[in-house]
Structure 1
Amino acid sequence: MASIASIQSGRFRVLKEGSRTSDQAMGPVVYWMFRDQRLKDNWALIHAVDQANKANVPVAIAFNLFDQFLGAKARQLGFMLRGLRQLHRSITETLQIPFILFQGKAEDTIPNFLRECGASLLVTDFSPLQEIRRCKEQICKKVTDSVVIHEVDAHNIVPVWVASDKLEYSAKTIRGKINKLLPEYLIDFPTLQSPNREWALKDRVIDWDGLIDDVLRKGAEVPEIEWCEPGEDAAREVLMGGKNGFLTKRLKNYSADRNNPLKPKALSGLSPYLHFGQISAQRCALKAQRVRKLCPQAVDTFLEELIVRRELADNFCFYQPHYDSLKGAWGWAQTTLLNHASDKREQIYTREQFEKAQTADPLWNAAQLEMVYCGKMHGFMRMYWAKKILEWTREPEEALSISIYLNDKYEIDGRDPSGYVGCMWSICGVHDQGWKERPVFGKIRYMNYAGCKRKFDVDGYIAYVKGLKKVKRKADDMLSPKAKELHS
């Protein structure tokens, strides 16, 4: 293979070495896109094109559409596919790189395509989730020995395997490691070059409308949201747009108001775009650094969340295989939760009751309904929401299972390391410390209604969510008969 020039060597790792001999012709490069669904500021795409140009071979992008991946419904898949449709158009118009969409098991479709086109290098972006890692292991076994496989961490600013070689205990233990590496990795992106060679295989027509209609039908129980427009252009508008961009208009209130559920506009609104890789966290950080003089405290707080907390979540899911189980908690947390598993609960609710917001707590119900209606729940409320599930279920493993199920089903950014860590922090004390021991919770940090009331206007928040319900009903009344059938 040609030497690496466009990206730092630490930004990618070799999943499979090839056994190509010097007299064998170099085949095309294929970039299997999954987590980082964008044209701009994409280290994996930069690497794929760079390697193709150095070898003077063509390059293609492959995307495999999993069927309702980890329970994703119309809300998540519709957002993703609409973004991919825009991406397909942009890639075709600007780079003339073929974008090929597969449906089925990636461990079958990707190796089959590599054989079909005679590829010599597969570049893929990084995900710490077990399902994707197992899939990549299968692909490594199925492809021929002549194929090399590179994995590029295009999602984190400091690649997860560079930031730390072990499971970190908390933000405190990883913060210094990341900050030390930021001068090396928080750099601007090189210009994405056009491919030297055109792809010889026929381009495959993608029926985007049919695909979107299909996922809307299959996942109709969780309909799409309207407040968040998908795609790279929309993501950049949220970040830097003139009218309501986060860094241009809303940043100054971030530090003071971000923990107030009644002030959602103080938040960045970038989470859906970061989750689907429609914008680069690195680009967000670079843009934030340039306005730091205007709001230093707000920018520092934003960068802590964007870099340290996000990358801590990836660290946890990468180094802890039980990231969605009580087995993934630290020993002290497992012990205290099991010691209090038989404690009497004042209330016990089923998963269905939680899902329908049928608890005796109007604040909890409001948080659940905000997630159902909007596809997001305010971060402060998500902590309270998950901790109450622990308090109102028979055992902690059940509480964790219910919280992850609801989060992944309704949150637009569900099935994300930050979501798993959020549930694990609230219920299992991950990245936290032991607190005063009490019934049910043991030494897990406690939250209650009275504490929320001291923090913000609880009645105002409940009223705010009721208003969202009226808006949703009004929007549902305006749907076409076909749409009503899909959303029912």
Structure 2
Amino acid sequence: MTLNSLPQHLKERVRLLSEHPLQEEGTYVLYWMHHAVRDYENPALDTAIHMASTLDIPLLVYQGLSGAHRFNSDRHFTFILEGARDVAAQFEKRGIRYAFHLDADSSAGSPLYSLGQQAAVVITEDYPAPPFPRWIKRLADQITPPVWAVDSHCIIPMQSIGKWYSRAYHFRNKIGSNAWERAARNWPEAASTPKYFSEELSWDVLDWETVSIADLCASCDIDHSIGPIHHTPGGMMAGHARWSAFLEKGISRYDKTRNDPTLSLPSGVSRLSAYLHHGHVSPFTVARDAVREASSGAHKFLDELLIWRELAFNLCFHNNNVEEVSILPQWVHDSFERHLQDEREKVYDWEDFASGRTGDALWNLAQQSLRIHGELHNNVRMTWGKAVLNWTASPQESLDILLDLNNRYSLDGSDPNSYAGILWCLGLLDRPFPPEKPILGLVRPRSSARHQSRIDMSRYARQLERFPRMQSLKVAIIGAGVAGLAAARTLQDNGCAVTVFDRGRKPGGRLASIEVSGHHVDLGAPVLSFKDPRLRLWVESWHKKGLIQDWVVREADWSSF
């Protein structure tokens, strides 16, 4: 049995990641779900249902979550777990076995490989942003059954485009009216119900009705300093509620209000990006609803959805170096090279950027939006991204910092649109803008001062200062040692008002020191060892600031004592 057994609307979306034949001894069809976490209008799920029904074997839907991803945190885990809770309830109603595996410390290993080895075929989503292409290919290379990747994210299947398009107008000309015609279609849902997979699994299944998502996050070896976003809960229900409100009250004026970051839901922009990223909302539903709304605002919204969003997927699908400046066109490289030695008015380290402590008020507010609210208005993102080029020593350093901040804090981090938007700030998907400017060269400039003149900065600041569930928290911390200061910093970064009390004359606790005859004498620990890789960027920033130094063992000079 081959792809030819699939209906055309599914067949055109499938890529074979290995040449292995279907395994006749396979006892089920395995659907590995990760970025289309929904039970409706889901091409990967429908492909799995079709294959299970055709082969007359059960379907098992598997979703896993572990600490292996470098940006895992309470924020990302909470959103993913909320989405898993929603889809688990829907699968139970449909009589489809859904198995979620949480690996608290990523040491036990994923059951995905053993599950895949026992399947007749493994179906998963064709998600092109790092690190998933590498993870999916590794699975396909290490198991015997075939692995099929199904495009569940784009209106026009990614592989049907044929090549990478580096400019939006070329991409628009390529897809023509096809995207708009497809956007209006109803998605044909799978009609059959596959056999139920009833065998025992090798791990304890979560009881979603009683389990505490906060407790689950607390049990995991992840970054607990980045808290969940309570005004943007994950899941299909929350995603649909947000889309419905925007469709009813916001989309008709989208063409007029989309560039104003001071507007709150449902005005301005849809704020659907996190739900589209994780697949809690179907892009097919969104596109079809927007077509039927038929206003000028909906037309502009569709242009963003069908052209710019799918251009971003096209970029990641055809390129494996989206985290490297090597992807930039030659004219950008030449331009940056000519200005690499230009003087930077100010160079900031990672901690300055992460904390929003630059000399630019708009940039700092944008970073506050990312750090506390887990989102960044797209029009502000362009100014935010381009400014970093002026404050770093090289374009690669700029790219590294921008990707780190976006993927670390944003709920839609590690999305193709994130990569495309950030790389646009460095000249990709764009043209030269003469005359040459300092540092940027021919790359399109974007003045923060001019941007600030177009928006109400006071209103933007007030909007960002509203911290849901955090605004009323005033926290007192007793002790200004390492633990107390770390707790204070974490709470403050998440929007709490914090006061630290200590009996000493200055903070530091066991790291405090005194000066004696021009020498610093440690009153406590003489050395710190930073072994957790999650501390690397903090430590490098402190080292650049001179707050810590490498420990060098040397013989003391006691002559002055």
Same fold (TM over 0.5): yes
Contact 1:157-1:186 at 8 Å conserved across structures: no
Aligned to 2:288: 286
Q: How does 1:54-453 map to 2 (within 5 A)?
A: 54-67=54-67, 69-101=69-101, 103=103, 104=106, 109-115=111-117, 118-144=118-144, 147-162=145-160, 164-182=161-179, 183=181, 187-202=185-200, 204-206=204-206, 209=211, 212-216=214-218, 218-240=222-244, 245-264=245-264, 265-292=267-294, 295=295, 297-426=296-425, 428-436=426-434, 437-453=436-452
CA drift at 1:180: 4.0
Contact 2:433-2:444 at 8 Å conserved across structures: yes
Contact 1:373-1:472 at 8 Å conserved across structures: no
Contact 1:376-1:411 at 8 Å conserved across structures: yes
CA drift at 1:133: 1.6
Separation in 1, partners of 2:194, 2:68: 37
CA 434–64 in structure 1, closer or farther in 2 if over 3 Å, else same:
same
Secondary structure of the residue aligned to 2:371 is: helix
Question: Max radius of gyration: which structure?
Answer: 2
Gaps of 5+ in 1: none
CA drift at 1:6: 6.7
Q: What amino acid does structure 2 have at the position aligned with 1:250? A: G
CA drift at 1:287: 0.8
CA 196–224 in structure 1, closer or farther in 2 if over 3 Å, else same:
closer
Gaps of 5+ in 2: 477-486, 492-561
| Percentage of matched positions with identical amino acids | 27
CA drift at 1:153: 0.2
CA drift at 1:383: 1.0
Contact 1:97-1:195 at 8 Å conserved across structures: no
Secondary structure of the residue aligned to 1:72 is: coil
Contact 2:183-2:291 at 8 Å conserved across structures: no
Aligned to 1:47: 47
CA drift at 1:212: 4.5
Contact 1:26-1:55 at 8 Å conserved across structures: no
Contact 2:59-2:194 at 8 Å conserved across structures: no
CA drift at 1:16: 1.9
Q: TM-score, normalised by structure 2?
A: 0.78
CA drift at 1:184: 5.0
CA 276–31 in structure 1, closer or farther in 2 if over 3 Å, else same:
same
CA drift at 1:99: 2.4
Secondary structure of the residue aligned to 1:91 is: helix
Separation in 2, partners of 1:353, 1:190: 50
Separation in 2, partners of 1:143, 1:475: 52
Aligned residues: 468
Separation in 1, partners of 2:116, 2:457: 56
CA drift at 1:400: 1.1
Secondary structure of the residue aligned to 2:32 is: strand
Separation in 1, partners of 2:25, 2:67: 36
Separation in 2, partners of 1:222, 1:33: 25
CA 478–350 in structure 1, closer or farther in 2 if over 3 Å, else same:
closer
Separation in 2, partners of 1:364, 1:458: 11
Separation in 2, partners of 1:270, 1:309: 15
Separation in 2, partners of 1:273, 1:184: 21
CA 30–122 in structure 1, closer or farther in 2 if over 3 Å, else same:
same
Contact 1:72-1:408 at 8 Å conserved across structures: no
Q: What amino acid does structure 2 have at the position aligned with 1:39? A: D
Secondary structure of the residue aligned to 1:266 is: coil
Secondary structure of the residue aligned to 1:150 is: strand
CA 50–478 in structure 1, closer or farther in 2 if over 3 Å, else same:
farther
Separation in 2, partners of 1:49, 1:445: 48
Contact 1:373-1:468 at 8 Å conserved across structures: no
Q: What amino acid does structure 2 have at the position aligned with 1:150? A: W
Q: What amino acid does structure 2 have at the position aligned with 1:75? A: R
Q: TM-score, normalised by structure 1?
A: 0.89
Contact 2:332-2:427 at 8 Å conserved across structures: yes
Query: Over residues 413-472 of structure 1, what are the superposed CA-to-partner deviations in whole Å (9 max), with x where a residue is unaligned?
Result: 11111111111111x21111111210011111111233213422234323443x336x67
Contact 2:276-2:282 at 8 Å conserved across structures: yes
Cα RMSD of the aligned pairs, angstroms, is 2.6
Aligned to 1:16: 18
1:28 aligns with 2:28: yes
**More helix, by proportion:** 1
Query: Over residues 289-330 of structure 1, what are the superposed CA-to-partner deviations in whole Å (9 max), with x where a residue is unaligned?
Result: 1111xx2x1111101111211111111112121112111111
Separation in 2, partners of 1:60, 1:69: 24
Contact 1:35-1:125 at 8 Å conserved across structures: yes
CA 379–105 in structure 1, closer or farther in 2 if over 3 Å, else same:
farther
Q: What amino acid does structure 2 have at the position aligned with 1:451? A: R
Separation in 1, partners of 2:81, 2:411: 13
Question: Which fold has the larger relative contact order, with Cα–Cα distance below 8 Å and residues 6 or more apart in sequence?
Answer: 1
Contact 1:27-1:121 at 8 Å conserved across structures: no
Contact 1:221-1:487 at 8 Å conserved across structures: yes
